[in-house]
Structure formats: C-alpha cells, structure tokens
Amino acid sequence: MDVEMKAKRTPLEALADPTRRAILKRLRRGSLSAGEIADSFQLSKPTLSHHFRVLELAGLVRSERRGTRIVYTLQANVIEEIASELLELTDGARSLLARSRRKGWT
C-alpha cells in the first residue's frame, strides 16, 4: 500500500481520538500556533506533531507557516459537513424507528 494512503485519515477517524478533539475545541476560538496549543497538553512534541498531521490529512485543520511558527486553523466547513451527515443518519434512524413502532415491531 502507498505510504501516503496509509497516512491519509478520514475526518471521522481523526475525530476518534480525544486529544485531537480537544485540539479542535481549542481552535474553535481562532487560529493558534503549535506552541500555544502545546501549552494546553502534557504531551511530547513528536506526539503533538503526529496529532496535528492526522488532523491536517483529514482536512480538519490547515497549517500556515508564519516566520518560525506554524499556525493551525480549524476548517469549520468540514466539521459542518460531518455534522450534517450525522444528522441525516439520525433522521433516517428516527424514521425507521417510527415505522417499526407503527407496525408493532418494537
């Protein structure tokens, strides 16, 4: 398998990790440098770099070099698309549950 394909993550895979979700929560308030984000976590730099890379490959954040700093920005549109898809799934599940109740299956 291609190395880049192994590294590619879907947004849902990236969201499965609580540390990555916490990073995204920090970015809701606006762009932050890697150092500013790191101040909130008791993790090594390589571990945080891994989390940043997974989030970026999943399209959940984008990075921009500003001088010697790397600044991360939340890609809210991707989060909104995921939320929309999940809501569609729950609407379908609700419809199915309502139909099954009407038929007396539950």
pLDDT for the residue 86: 84
Is residue 13 a part of any domain in this protein? yes
The confidence band for 1, taking pLDDT boundaries of 50, 70 and 90, is: very low
pLDDT for the residue 2: 43
Cβ count near 75 (within 10 Å): 19
Number of domains in the chain: 1
pLDDT in tens, 45-102: 999 999 999 999 999 999 999 999 999 999 999 989 988 888 887 776 667 667 777 7
pLDDT for the residue 66: 95
Is residue 39 a part of any domain in this protein? yes
Q: What is the DSSP string of 25-37?
A: HHHTTS-EEHHHH
CATH number of the domain residue 9 falls in: 1.10.10.10
pLDDT for the residue 5: 43
Is residue 97 a part of any domain in this protein? no
| Stated pTM of the model | 0.76
Q: Which residues pair with 32 in a beta bridge?
A: 72
pLDDT for the residue 84: 87
Name the CA dihedral angle for 85, 10, 67, 47, rounded to a multiple of 10 degrees: 120
Strands (E), the chain: 32-33, 61-66, 69-74
- Going from the C-alpha of 16 to that of each of 10, 35, 40, 56, 77, the distances in angstroms are 10, 23, 19, 14, 18
Is residue 94 a part of any domain in this protein? no
Domain that holds residue 23: 3-74
